[in-house]
Structure 1
Amino acid sequence: MREIIFESENLKVVKVAGTRAGVAFVTFEQMRPQEHCIPGRDGFGEVFFAKRGFTAYHFLPAGNDWYHYPETAQALALVRADIPPDVRVVNYGASMGGYAAMRFSEPLSAETVFALAPQASVDPAIVPWEKRWGPRGPALLWDRQAPRRAARHFVIYDPLSQDRRHIELLQREVPMTVMFSYFSDHHTTEYVQESGLLQQMLLDLAEDRFDPAALQAELWRRRRSTSVYHFVRPRKVRRGLRRLRYYALERLLDWRYRPVRRPEDGGGPTSVAPAG
């Protein structure tokens, strides 16, 4: 059943109760075209979690304001109070939603954070080099709210993009396990989804069996199955020196993430090389 547990002019939080016990997801939307911010829209990953019986809470902002609303703290407190203390909380979001998933991990007492291309800040004083987006108003309420250090943070991003600078800032605040979506630019969510691994990653997180090294290797090997890779990579190799650099990088990664054949498994490619 879909239930609104918080609603204001700026923010709505929807709960969809599931049948599976032991884990609850809290999701945060990424930026979207304003015309797509319709009141009755689904939350981030709502259909997926509902079909698989997971309880999920979906934060739906009225606009692309990076959740900088005074009432956000009240909404977070209501969600935390609604989740039983013995249930693991997994925060999940991408870009603006990844920012929120990390920044709000402390008030939600999240055990795990899964963030795709999370941004560290939208404060021009902190990220003066970030010109892609910025604060939509004067209030910057959550930039300095540190992520929960007790949580496990799993982050996927393209180290060849400007997102690298955001991750470097976040790594100064909290330890994290990083995975790379090479040649995705900021389209990390689409890249991972098109690879066919996003659903597996979410299920692995729910069942507490997430294996970053194996998933990283498989994500690299599936890159050519994504339209994002075929769109982004040609844009990075227009000049001779860069073309050579990225050719060498791909060959190195092909070797690093190659299947490992073990004699005890009959010589089949049953494991992967570690993600170094």
Structure 2
Amino acid sequence: MSRTGQRVFDGDRLRATLFNGDARKALVTFRQRITPDGAFSDPKPIARFVNQGYAHLHLQSRKNDWYINDETEAFEDRLRDLTAPYRRVVGTGFSMGGYAALRFSKALRLQHALLVSPQFSIAPSLVPWDKRYRDSAAGFDPDLGDVARRSRRGLKGVILIDPFRPMDRRHADLICVAFPNISVCSLGCGGHPATRILGETGGFGRVQAQLLSGRVDVDAIRQFHRSGRRTSAIYWRHLAENAQKRGHLDLANEACARHAALSGD
């Protein structure tokens, strides 16, 4: 399998790279928010999908602008042309990448998406309660970035969130109103993004592989999460923090001890 992709959109702000482009089905991935930003990365194909006859289209924004900039509309037009030959298109994205999966779902002809801790918007006028991304929101165009109006409303999929992250939970609620075929899977103490425990314990690959079957099994994802949390230092740290906030001191102390044992502190 060649690890060299074809650059199919090469802007100053946005870039798209295509691997195995002659396939009949396609997986789309999106780069998430990174710190520091300002440079494109060198994407690699996801072997699990390419080996199963999928093209892999990787999209990225050079800045943490949620893909909304003066190249967005040209980018959207190019994505529409690129995905026209594919009979099946699925996608996955984390945080800013999850937002982009929603925003470009219509142009991509996206049928099913696995979204991890995505945002509905970063526009202060729409989400005044979420101040986490105000450094990126200054130049954000709420009309150009309007997922409710510009996306594929029939998109199916699953949002993975940590229910103890109130901002992520509120974004998920807004997304589910705009996209009635998207459901929420809660992964307690998973953090942001909510799959940190799955990633730490090797479970995210199994979750991602469900897109190959055409159905994301929420119950199975929860079980992967439960299985991984027993040996996850991240889980016990987050549990200790949440228990402390809620005054459950015995649980907080127990979770702190488990975290220390697993992390070697």
Alpha-carbon distance in structure 2 between the residues aligned to 1:156 and 1:148: 19
Higher helix share: 2
The amino acid of 1:80's aligned partner reads R
1:98 is aligned to 2:81? no
The 3 A distance-change label for structure 1 pair 215 and 15 is: same
What is residue 193 of structure 2 aligned with on the other side? Answer: 187
The amino acid of 1:41's aligned partner reads D
What is residue 41 of structure 1 aligned with on the other side? Answer: 42
User: 1:136, CA displacement in angstroms?
Assistant: 4.3
User: 1:53, CA displacement in angstroms?
Assistant: 5.6
Compare 116-125 and 201-210 and name the one that shifted more: 201-210
| Contact kept? 2:95, 2:118, Cα under 8 Å | yes
1:28 is aligned to 2:30? yes
| Contact kept? 1:23, 1:55, Cα under 8 Å | yes
Alpha-carbon distance in structure 2 between the residues aligned to 1:26 and 1:77: 16
Match of 2:218 among 193, 196, 212: 212
The 3 A distance-change label for structure 1 pair 173 and 121 is: same
Alpha-carbon distance in structure 2 between the residues aligned to 1:104 and 1:38: 22
The 3 A distance-change label for structure 1 pair 6 and 141 is: farther
What is residue 263 of structure 1 aligned with on the other side? Answer: none
CA distances 1:120-152 after superposition (whole Å, capped 9, x unpaired): 110111111112113141533443232422221
User: 1:22, CA displacement in angstroms?
Assistant: 4.1
| Contact kept? 1:187, 1:228, Cα under 8 Å | no
CA distances 1:192-230 after superposition (whole Å, capped 9, x unpaired): 222322212222212224322222233223222333212
1:225 is aligned to 2:231? yes
What is residue 167 of structure 1 aligned with on the other side? Answer: 172
The amino acid of 1:16's aligned partner reads F
User: 1:48, CA displacement in angstroms?
Assistant: 5.9
User: 1:3, CA displacement in angstroms?
Assistant: 0.6
| Contact kept? 2:119, 2:171, Cα under 8 Å | yes
Q: CA RMSD in A?
A: 2.7
| Contact kept? 2:24, 2:85, Cα under 8 Å | no
CA distances 1:55-101 after superposition (whole Å, capped 9, x unpaired): 11111211101101232232233223223445211121110110111
The 3 A distance-change label for structure 1 pair 125 and 84 is: closer
What is residue 13 of structure 2 aligned with on the other side? Answer: 10
Q: Secondary structure at the match of 1:238?
A: helix
What is residue 63 of structure 1 aligned with on the other side? Answer: 63
Q: Give the alignment's TM-score, normalised by structure 1.
A: 0.78
The 3 A distance-change label for structure 1 pair 148 and 165 is: same
| Contact kept? 2:7, 2:16, Cα under 8 Å | yes
Runs of at least 5 residues in structure 1 that lack an aligned partner in the other structure: 248-276
Runs of at least 5 residues in structure 2 that lack an aligned partner in the other structure: 254-265
% same residue: 28
| Contact kept? 2:65, 2:140, Cα under 8 Å | no
1:238 is aligned to 2:244? yes
| Contact kept? 1:113, 1:153, Cα under 8 Å | yes
| Contact kept? 1:154, 1:178, Cα under 8 Å | yes
The 3 A distance-change label for structure 1 pair 143 and 82 is: closer
Compare 212-221 and 170-179 and name the one that shifted more: 212-221
What is residue 72 of structure 1 aligned with on the other side? Answer: 72
The 3 A distance-change label for structure 1 pair 16 and 193 is: same
